[in-house]
Structure 1
Amino acid sequence: MTLRLTEEEDLALAATAERLGISKQEAARQAIRMFTDERARFEDIVTRAVDRFGPVLDKLK
């Protein structure tokens, strides 16, 4: 797979990788894992909130 970045994105990735002492590839992989983990947590919270408060919100319609 080839990851195409803008110059600005590549500079940010390079700076992050250097600051963390890892390769740009590893920095990108970590960023992807962090994003997908955070997204999954967000979706879980939303699902639980809808399950818990959905009936009350429906009554407000």
Structure 2
Amino acid sequence: MAMTLRLSDADEKTLADLARQEGISRQEATVRAIRETAARRGHQQAVSELSERARTRYAELLDRLAQ
């Protein structure tokens, strides 16, 4: 799927610099940034859910330790 991406001059320079440093095209740098952000958000969501389950499971113990 084709897509047009409108960037500010500063963002265009940042993208070009990133692509050059990585030795990849601007297209590939954009795709990688999208995938990395999605993976990071997925990881953060998983950690948040696991943390909530642990706090629920160990609520009594955590209360006792807090005293």
Match of 1:16 in 2: 18
What's 1:54 paired with? Answer: 56
* Bigger radius of gyration: 2
Q: Structure 2 residue aligned with 1:5, among 1, 4, 7?
A: 7
Percent identity reads: 32
Structure 1: 5+ residue stretches without partners: none
Aligned-pair Cα RMSD in Å: 1.3
* Structure 2 unmatched runs, 5+: none
TM-score, normalization by structure 1: 0.85
Note if 1:25 corresponds to 2:62. no
- The structure showing larger relative contact order (alpha-carbon pairs under 8 Å, at least 6 residues apart) is 1
- The number of aligned residues is 57
Q: Tell me which stretches of 4 or more aligned residues in structure 1 moved more than 4 Å.
A: none
